[in-house]
Structure 1
Amino acid sequence: MGTIPYGRQDISEDDIAAVVAVLRSDFLTQGPVVPAFEKSIADYCGVAHALAVNSATSALHIACLALGVGPGDLVWTTPVTFVASANCALYCGAAVDFVDIDPHTYNLDAVALAAKLADAKVAGRLPKVVIPVHLCGQSCDMAAIHALALEYGFGVIEDASHAIGGRYLGEPIGNCRYSDITVFSFHPVKIITTAEGGMAVTGRADLAAAMALSRSHGITREPAQMSHAPDGPWYYQQVALGFNYRMTELQAALGVSQMGRLDEFVAQRHRLARRYDTLLQALPLTLPFQREGTYSGLHLYVVRLHLADIGRTHLQVFEFLRERGIGVNVHYIPVHTQPYYRQLGFTAGQFPQSERYYAEAISLPLYSGLSFGDQDRVVAALKEALS
């Protein structure tokens, strides 16, 4: 028996045909398929603007730039995320701080955020932007975060890398009702994939225009953005310092095809998660909690070990499962504990909920192609590990 990964892509013959069609076309990099993919995401989310890029990290970077993040500014996010959610602010020359997690959802805690903002206002050190991360695909408490943004005057970037296909208060994650910009990831282990790739969506034309410039070297072909009339039809101007963050036609073709099965992928993840909930309920574990009003994209199924009731350590359970071909993982190592962030002055103990979570969390295999038989194998191995 082979290893069951914690996540993997689901590629159909239609997906392959879509990519092959681009290979046989006139455009491999920038052509008609990238805009078609952007439109499919924008239409799905009910948002005005979508910009495809080569990774969610790039999307976070240009989102920060569009909101004016720069030297002297402060960006807050959660410690329990991939490092890109924090690094994007450092790319802009800003400083980073963190807000601890809600102990039930593992998302940025809106109550802790409110308390930290009140203290920061007194100290004169309010954030320019807050980046809530929809961990595992479940939305943060965005209505509360939005209300705080209005009160304290900061921008909001939703890191929805885990969450495409999810909903919040009955509406699609990504409609930007409670944020300035939302970012998605299409890495192979995510809900849909473009191999590598990401997307930034926004309801604001000014932010979309700023991100479009940053995505492609700061170059424009729009006469309205130029310093003088074009020299001719070939003409372009670099009007800002940008980057090469573009998505290819090949990636976008895969994305367009995958979007046709997005709802099916998420529904199957929910069926598998409900089955895990039933099969694991008697074990010494904390199972995932879903806040009322949320419908998770369910990128990850994270359990927390009741270590006091188990005869093995966190590491021993992890290794036991890996040795039996169960490709579990841990999402994530709190960012503030990374050596680079320690050098910036962060220390252990600053965000205790995040550190407790890390000491107990294990991500079990979950992806749309996971069979019930393989899921049973995961459960049997976990029961043996915890016995």
Structure 2
Amino acid sequence: MNTLAINGGKPVRDTYLPYAQQWVDEEDVGEVVKVLKSDFLTTGPKIEEFEKRFADYVGAKYAVSISNGTAALHAACFAAGIKEGDEVITSPITFAASANCVLYQGGKPIFADIDPKTYNIDIEDVERKITKKTKAIIPVDFTGQPVDIDGINEIAKKYGLVVIEDAAHSLGAEYKSKKIGSLVDITTFSFHPVKHITTGEGGMITTNDEKLYNKLKLFRTHGITRDKEMLQNKDEGPWFYEQLELGYNYRMTDIQAALGISQLNKINGFLKRRREIAKKYDEYLKNIDGIILPYQESFSKSAWHLYVIQLELEKFKVGRKEIFEALQAENIGVNVHYIPVYYHPYYKRLGYEKGLCPNAEKLYERIITLPLYPKMKDKDIEDVVNVMDKVLKYYRR
């Protein structure tokens, strides 16, 4: 067992442990089957029910279901009025969608550096990056830990900016004892299979602003409305509708909504298990030299979408790549979240260069994501810890 699997030894695990995985049970399947046997497959009663249930859960006035988390961000940028020439500040340590949504509207993403402790966006750098062209801020709740929302909102109010919180990682997280979803202008969520609940693909947008709510609903349905109060021409009859904006077909289906409702019924259990796993990691990994554990602010309660450790590379004979490959060879499905957005070739072609966010760039070189999802057993956690100990001991100076 002391010989690394990558060097020909026996792996600690016989089967591969992924970094994340959905948990769909027979109850979920049953709810989907009911819809498949009903009169509505696309937009029907389950959509309205899911939106109402979700809004109640996060404490928001309005919720708009949508086809995926990226579409949610795109719709949010539309509702916020982002247009060509506008600048929007966001984090570089995120999936590319958090910045791509700005480009979809003709705007320009501006990357603010991260806090080296929390890995969330650095509020002071956000304020430094504000110009006369800045229209909005898209903070990302990285790994499930909420950003300093009061600080973000204060800056937004000072400069007249819209806040779009990317909460793809933080469904069920709390900021100062309040659930994420009603604390900024617009909040977006993702229901991809690796997230806290899943609808296959899908997402949700929440807001307390009725005007934004109406814009979001319009955008997800081709920009078309049947609402008599919104029509700009004479109502010609019961069939009449108008396209008011260039929207998209970003609708969720009743099939997905049925799964989402069933999954939402289990969210508290999912969150409880995620937090148990994170606590066990904290307890076991603190004794392994050479890693920095995730830092948690006192004002937040993370939803623990990801558990990201940082390697103290100066303590090892090899780099992150060699350690990563050795962990995978032991059948531990580690990952890296994320490559800084502006490193991607597309962003380089737009003129972005390395050096924009030194903290983010340094972090990227050192981070590894460990497996974390509710279906994990205690034995799985022990395997991860044992593999970390085995591999890091081997490569330690």
Match of 2:21 in 1: 8
1:82-127 Cα offsets, whole Å, 9 max, x none, are: 000000000001111100000011000112223333xx3xxxx341
Q: Confirm whether residue 62 of structure 1 aligns to residue 69 of structure 2.
A: no
Counterpart among 274, 277, 289 of residue 272 in structure 1: 277
Query: How far apart are residue 346 of structure 1 and its match?
Result: 1.4
Structure 2 residue runs of 5 or longer lacking an equivalent are 1-13
Match of 1:349 in 2: 355
Match of 1:207 in 2: 212
Match of 1:103 in 2: 116
- In structure 2, what is the Cα distance between the partners aligned to 1:186 and 1:109? 27
Alignment of 1:182-261 (within 5 A): 182-261=187-266
What letter is aligned with 1:50? A
Q: Confirm whether residue 172 of structure 1 aligns to residue 185 of structure 2.
A: no
Q: Confirm whether residue 358 of structure 1 aligns to residue 364 of structure 2.
A: yes
1:40-62 Cα offsets, whole Å, 9 max, x none, are: 11001111110000111001001
Counterpart among 302, 305, 309 of residue 308 in structure 2: 302
Match of 1:329 in 2: 335
What letter is aligned with 2:360? S
Query: How far apart are residue 261 of structure 1 and its match?
Result: 0.9
What letter is aligned with 1:221? R
Q: TM-score, normalised by structure 1?
A: 0.96
- In structure 2, what is the Cα distance between the partners aligned to 1:224 and 1:136? 42
Counterpart among 288, 293, 299 of residue 299 in structure 2: 293
Query: How far apart are residue 347 of structure 1 and its match?
Result: 1.1
Alignment of 1:3-42 (within 5 A): 3-42=16-55
Q: Is the 8 A contact 1:167 1:296 kept in 2?
A: yes
1:332-377 Cα offsets, whole Å, 9 max, x none, are: 0000111111111111122110011100000000000110101111
1:152-179 Cα offsets, whole Å, 9 max, x none, are: 111100000000011001000001x3x2
Q: Is the 8 A contact 1:76 1:129 kept in 2?
A: yes
1:215-268 Cα offsets, whole Å, 9 max, x none, are: 000110111111233222222111111100000111110000000111111111
- Once the two structures are aligned, what percentage of the paired residues are identical? 45
Q: TM-score, normalised by structure 2?
A: 0.94
Q: Is the 8 A contact 1:223 1:229 kept in 2?
A: no
What letter is aligned with 1:148? I
- In structure 1, what is the Cα distance between the partners aligned to 2:94 and 2:343? 12
Query: How far apart are residue 324 of structure 1 and its match?
Result: 1.3
Alignment of 1:142-161 (within 5 A): 142-161=149-168
Q: Secondary structure at the match of 2:351?
A: coil
The Cα RMSD (Å) is: 0.9
- In structure 2, what is the Cα distance between the partners aligned to 1:62 and 1:367? 29
What letter is aligned with 2:69? A
Q: Is the 8 A contact 2:146 2:180 kept in 1?
A: yes
- In structure 2, what is the Cα distance between the partners aligned to 1:71 and 1:30? 32
Q: Confirm whether residue 82 of structure 1 aligns to residue 95 of structure 2.
A: yes
Q: How many equivalent pairs are there? A: 379
Query: How far apart are residue 8 of structure 1 and its match?
Result: 0.5
